[in-house]
Amino acid sequence: MAGFLVAWTHDAASPDTASWAHAERIALRGGALGASHTTVQCRVLTWRRRTGEFPHSGKVFESGRKHVAWVGQCVDEGGEASQQAIHVLARDVWNDAAAARCNGPFCAVVMGTEPFSLRVVTDRYRHYPVYVYKGAGVAVASTDMKCLLPFMGKRALNLAAVDMLLRSGELIDRDTLLDGVELLPPGTVLSLETNAAGALQTTEHRYWAMRHDGAAAGSLSRTADELAQRLSASVRRLEAVSPRLGITLSGGLDSRIILDLCAHPERVPSFTWGLPGCRDIACASRYAQVVGSPHTVRHWSPPDFPPLWPTGADLTAGSFGVESMHMLPFIPLLASHCDVVLNGLAGDVILGGNFIKYDWLGQRDVSKLGRSIWRWRVSAEEERQVDMLKVSDTSKSAAQRWVDSIAAREGARPVERANDWLYENRIFRYTNSGTMLLRSAVESHSPFFDNDFIDAVTAVRQEHKFKHRLYLEVMRRAAPRAASVTWQRTNIPPAWGFQANVLAMGVHRVVGKLASRLGLEAFKDLKVADPAGWLRTDWQSVAADIVLGARAQERGVWNPQAAQGLWQSHMRGGNHTRTLGAMVAVELFARSVLDEDLV
């Protein structure tokens, strides 16, 4: 995928030549096309694939007296708008509002001379990760964490981050698995400016942050009308600038509404994968037929995954458990048909209220709400199991760090502040990792994160989203074909309305609980994948060697006896898929960045 690397010093000396050359080799591995710009105390490099990239991505541009290393694509009503965004970011005087209007996934480095200045910028949501390391005499930022390694001395895992990942399946805030390396927040500009005395000053500034506030929201009907119009415009903008466009199509709502809103869905190939006979494939196939999208279905081949895990861990910097790397085997298939893939990232959250529980709506204590969200993500039994692994003995527990981070979020009602936090963390620290896998061969756009759409949806009452009520209203208005086909979650069409779909969800939940008490599995066709079962069969030997083998034992990140107990419990039918998947990712990451295994 396209990316950048920038290294700078504070003393007018050049970044170390040998370290830079090593980092450049890492960046350009696999035959990527590179471009660079150099000043006395700063060097920047960009790279891009020969195919499957946005037109301006991975290139260096001149803008006035500055050079801009650009990754991504911005769009507006006129189509491609990356050049306009580049000029906005390169202005002599930074403008928060202008930067916040840049619409699309991007990150950039802006370098000026006479006097020297530098900006490293993330987009409003941080579609692309930017990793930052500040060492003795040099600082480095890159979209690829491995490019930082030549500038670092002794390397070690961040054990507090490892502990968080094993418990919750995700990382939060600035954390990465590599000690001393941080993730630049979304909507942020890291700046170096030469002051009047000729010295460099470093500042970091959030030019935009998501803030839900539904205090002035209109009626459900009026809200649905506006969001339907804005989402339709978002999809049409992206369709217009993407000649070879495709979509990953599930049986849920997010991808189908996007495909329905395309002006020419018959020109947009769709792709679905899952277990034979699952509802995802059945619903997606029926819907693709309705809109005329050329549709490809693939079933899992579990043995195909383990050889790809090191690549997945490399692409996501170890922050994504291997049990969730569903995309990996099918990326070449997508690349053979598309340059850009539309994805329904977080639609179920943004419109469907997946981050809203009934009890959360009335909670006035944000710390109590934070503890509820932690327990929603991490059961008491999961905590006990990870406690036994003895990964980290930090003074503050992972649960407390989680709660404190939510409580520190500024905003309106506690439920709105918590949703702001969950978007920034769960969506763009975890869910977006699937997009990062996709970007190893093709680019991706997320229509639900169009700026105009987000600006409207953050002003919605959270109560309207509950149980997909708002989503069903938007779909009925904007995408009636999508509403007419069975939804895999309820097994009825969304067009049947809010009450019918809520009733269907309730029936599924009650029947599922009763079946579980009897030792049965209800609604087997709802299962799309079976990573828990694959860990006991096709993945068993490879995963056991990674988690329990000599290299993991010598590394000593977790207690080997406790790890063995966790593994055996899973083999006997317990479900520790998330923790074991994260342990595999952590060990593969350690092999890559500490042992420098080639990927």
Domain finish residue from 206, 238, 254: 206
Specify the pLDDT at position 198.
75
Averaged over 75-96, what is the pLDDT?
A: 97
Cβ neighbors of 73 (< 8 A, separation 6 or more) are 54, 55, 56, 57, 80, 82, 104, 105, 106, 241, 443, 445
CB 278 within 8 A of CB 526: yes
Specify the pLDDT at position 19.
96
Specify the pLDDT at position 398.
97
160 with 256, same domain: the answer is no
Helix or strand holding residue 245 (H, E): strand 245-248
The reply to whether 380 falls in a domain is no
- Give the 3-state secondary structure of residue 82: helix
Specify the pLDDT at position 186.
98
Specify the pLDDT at position 271.
98
Domain finish residue from 206, 240, 268: 206
Specify the pLDDT at position 319.
97
201 with 244, same domain: the answer is no
> Does pLDDT of 595 surpass 80?
yes
CB 372 within 8 A of CB 363: yes
The reply to whether 370 falls in a domain is no
The reply to whether 213 falls in a domain is no
Averaged over 418-434, what is the pLDDT?
A: 96
Could you give the strand order of the β-sheet that contains 340-342, starting from the edge strand earlier in sequence?
295-299, 270-274, 245-248, 340-342, 443-445
The reply to whether 181 falls in a domain is yes
86 with 201, same domain: the answer is yes
Residue-wise pLDDT tens digits, 87-98: 999 999 999 999
Place of tokens 């593969």: 588
> Does pLDDT of 301 surpass 90?
yes
How does residue 114 score in pLDDT terms, banded at 50, 70 and 90?
confident
54 with 73, same domain: the answer is yes
- Residue 484 burial (10 A CB sphere; 0-12, 13-18, 19+): middle
Specify the pLDDT at position 175.
98
The reply to whether 225 falls in a domain is yes
Residue-wise pLDDT tens digits, 564-573: 999 999 999 9
Q: Whole-angstrom Cα distance, residue 146 to residue 464? A: 43
476 with 461, same domain: the answer is yes
Whole domain around residue 281: which residue ranges? Answer: 220-339+416-526
pTM, two decimal places: 0.97
Q: What is the mean pLDDT of the chain?
A: 96
87 with 156, same domain: the answer is yes
User: Minimal CA–CA distance to 61: which of 78, 82, 92?
Assistant: 82
Could you tell me the two tokens for 331?
């990326």
Domain finish residue from 490, 509, 526: 526
49 with 119, same domain: the answer is yes
CATH of the domain at 35: 3.60.20.10
The tally of domains found in the chain comes to: 3
How does residue 40 score in pLDDT terms, banded at 50, 70 and 90?
confident
CATH of the domain at 254: 3.40.50.620
- Pick left, alpha or beta for residue 60 (phi over 0 → left; psi -120 to 50 → alpha; otherwise beta): beta
> Does pLDDT of 598 surpass 70?
no
Q: Whole-angstrom Cα distance, residue 523 to residue 531? A: 17
253 with 232, same domain: the answer is yes
587 with 481, same domain: the answer is no
User: Minimal CA–CA distance to 239: which of 273, 207, 263?
Assistant: 263
Helix or strand holding residue 42 (H, E): strand 42-48
472 with 588, same domain: the answer is no
Comparing 195 with 515, the larger pLDDT belongs to 515
537 with 503, same domain: the answer is no
63 with 128, same domain: the answer is yes
User: Minimal CA–CA distance to 405: which of 189, 585, 160, 142?
Assistant: 160
Could you tell me the two tokens for 61?
């541009």
- Give the 3-state secondary structure of residue 200: strand
- Give the 3-state secondary structure of residue 20: helix
The reply to whether 188 falls in a domain is yes
The reply to whether 309 falls in a domain is yes
Residue-wise pLDDT tens digits, 268-277: 999 999 999 9
The reply to whether 166 falls in a domain is yes
